[in-house]
Structure 1
Amino acid sequence: MKLIHWVAGMACAVSMAGAAQANPLQQAIDGEHRTAKYAARDEYRHPAETLEFFQVKPDMAVVEIWPGGGWYTEILAPALKDEGTFYAAHFPKDTQVGYFKRSREAFEKRMAEKKDMYGAVKLTEFAPGGDSEIAPAGSADAVLTFRNVHNWMGGNNEQAAFKTFYKALKPGGVLGVVEHRAKPGTSREDMKKSGYVTQDYVIELAKNAGFELEEASEINANPKDTADHPKGVWTLPPSLRLGDEDKDKYLAIGESDRMTLRFRKPKS
């Protein structure tokens, strides 16, 4: 009887291992290629659950908006390189903003140094309010943006951003949004200052662009976060804008409370 149980258990373990091995997204998340400091943030960003919620599959055409240093690119690029298409819509190449310029150059360097992993990445650009093409119109299965909406609010370009996403997506395509979450009723000015945006406002932006809200998830919620800090969301890790001041307190809170929203471009 014990032998039967052992054999059954081994068969189950082999089956589970095979399923994990067959999942390129999970393979990428677990891969040794990932930057250690990035992987350490998985406990706050829940990449496996988030990408599953956004219904990302290895054979899809996916656009990541403003990938920055490449936190999600480390996962998406290798997961999509064989069967899918990955567009990294980075900061404009001709930007005059110093941070944007340095970030894009570092990203390009990284792509060039690891061509075996990133050689298939299609580097495009995104300038909210501009005419940049993040992917050919109507070609993308999913457009994903992580913690960016507050940045576009500074230039009053947030609505234009959502219209660009709508244009790039196929009918029936998914827009996935993760954003720092402000308390309901927070003023627009306070949103811009703090980096936290109300969930209702993000939903309004998407609906105004033509999207339908399909589902909201609490995958990236953090009840410890009051969304009321001296330096806004940047008070918390990973930024820790106050340096050593109350550092242990903010590390104990962790990263921000975040909304995770899945929108759909209507099929007709």
Structure 2
Amino acid sequence: METKHVKITLSIISLFAVLTCTGCSLTHAENSNSEKEKIKAAISAQLNASHRSIKNQARDKYRHPAETLAFLGVKPNSHVVEIWPGAGWYSEILAPYLKEQGQFYAAHFPANSGVKYFDKHLANFKQKLASNPIYSKTQLTEFHIDKAYAIAPAGSADVVLTFRNLHNWYMNNQEAGMRQAFDSFYKALKPGGILGIVDHQLPEDRDQEQWLKSGYLKKSLAIEIAEQAGFKLVGDSNINLNPLDDADHANGVWSLLPVHRGKDPKLLNVGESTRFTLKFIKPNQ
């Protein structure tokens, strides 16, 4: 009888442990979803702000900024680096969102590069930062794949974000350019920090080399190079996929909005390109 009693007791304990762990998992999932909803709501509040142009707001339906940043876990107190912010489409959202509790680093083109395109866009971005106090705490840093740049103090960033840049580095210097970029991201991130990537997605059944100049990139290639740099994939979202885009255009991604090179009227209905959205973590040391 004592043996039977012990077995029953152990069974009850085991069952309780399973139920407790299940409850913990559910609570964790609920907390995670709750956190995402909070981020989404806070980002959404920035989208209709007066400092954003009507033109930029019109692109929200293609870029899904609130959903994207919530998926990547960008909290108001995060230290965030945006790589090559261009004209500042995402910076308009991130700078005021992070201004009070976090820190925003805009890693733009290198100064005095001698490249007219770089110099022009960097000058325009600096003018943008000076035009509105919402950018007063933004730290302007530099980035390029030609060497290692301090995009933020080493090991300090909670999140590094790169939107539609990876294909540029691949087009110009193939995998070597991508590796240099990922090494810089890894150095800037703290252990447990997040790398978020959004880029134009090439179907996996196509030859990447043949589509080198299209602006589209295989998701598997992005994952492969990131993992070789030490990152671990922890999220893959369909948020920015566009089923209307077959990724087969005469002028690559630039055939579509917002560039609309070639002016094919049929492509206006496609909208912007289909894009993968990946979330990586820098493992704890």
Same fold by TM (over 0.5)?
yes
Q: 1:21 to 1:168 in 2, by over 3 A?
A: closer
**Structure 2 counterparts to residues 12-51 of structure 1, below 5 A:** 24-51=42-69
The letter of the residue matching 1:163 is: D
Q: Which runs of 5+ in 2 are unaligned?
A: 1-36
**Structure 2 counterparts to residues 79-118 of structure 1, below 5 A:** 79-114=97-132, 116-118=133-135
Q: Secondary structure at the match of 2:196?
A: strand
Deviates more, 1:179-188 or 1:199-208: 179-188
Q: Which runs of 5+ in 1 are unaligned?
A: 1-18
**Which stretches of structure 1, 4 residues or longer, exceed 3 Å deviation after superposition?**
19-24
Whether contact under 8 Å (2:82, 2:107) holds in the other structure is yes
The letter of the residue matching 1:260 is: T
Question: 1:75 maps to what in 2?
Answer: 93
Deviates more, 1:101-110 or 1:125-134: 125-134
Matched, 1:124 2:141: yes
Q: Percent identity, aligned pairs only?
A: 51
Matched, 1:225 2:242: no
CA offsets per residue over residues 157-179 of structure 1, 9 Å max, x none? 11110111011000000000000
Deviates more, 1:183-192 or 1:129-138: 183-192
- Structure of larger gyration radius: 2
Whether contact under 8 Å (1:20, 1:27) holds in the other structure is no
Matched, 1:239 2:259: yes
**Structure 2 counterparts to residues 140-219 of structure 1, below 5 A:** 140-156=157-173, 157-219=177-239
**Structure 2 counterparts to residues 59-70 of structure 1, below 5 A:** 59-70=77-88
CA distance in 2 between partners of 1:50 and 1:233 (Å)? 20
CA distance in 2 between partners of 1:21 and 1:187 (Å)? 38
Q: How many equivalent residue pairs?
A: 246
CA distance in 2 between partners of 1:32 and 1:63 (Å)? 24
Q: 1:21 to 1:176 in 2, by over 3 A?
A: closer
Question: 1:55 maps to what in 2?
Answer: 73
Q: CA deviation at 1:23?
A: 5.2
Q: CA deviation at 1:129?
A: 3.2
Q: CA deviation at 1:43?
A: 0.4
CA distance in 1 between partners of 2:199 and 2:43 (Å)? 22
CA distance in 2 between partners of 1:222 and 1:178 (Å)? 13
Q: 1:192 to 1:22 in 2, by over 3 A?
A: closer
Q: CA deviation at 1:155?
A: 2.7
CA distance in 2 between partners of 1:42 and 1:127 (Å)? 27
CA offsets per residue over residues 35-86 of structure 1, 9 Å max, x none? 1111100000000000000000010100000000000000000000100000
Q: Secondary structure at the match of 1:141?
A: strand
Q: Compute the TM-score of the two structures, normalised by the length of structure 1.
A: 0.88
CA distance in 2 between partners of 1:263 and 1:21 (Å)? 18
What is the RMSD of the two structures over their aligned residues, measured on CA atoms? 1.7
Q: CA deviation at 1:218?
A: 0.2
Q: Secondary structure at the match of 1:190?
A: coil
**Structure 2 counterparts to residues 248-259 of structure 1, below 5 A:** 249-259=266-276
Whether contact under 8 Å (2:43, 2:97) holds in the other structure is yes
CA offsets per residue over residues 112-144 of structure 1, 9 Å max, x none? 121x11111000010113121100110000000
Q: 1:22 to 1:92 in 2, by over 3 A?
A: closer
Whether contact under 8 Å (2:40, 2:66) holds in the other structure is no
CA distance in 2 between partners of 1:178 and 1:203 (Å)? 12
Deviates more, 1:148-157 or 1:228-237: 148-157
CA offsets per residue over residues 72-112 of structure 1, 9 Å max, x none? 00000000010000000001112222211111100001111
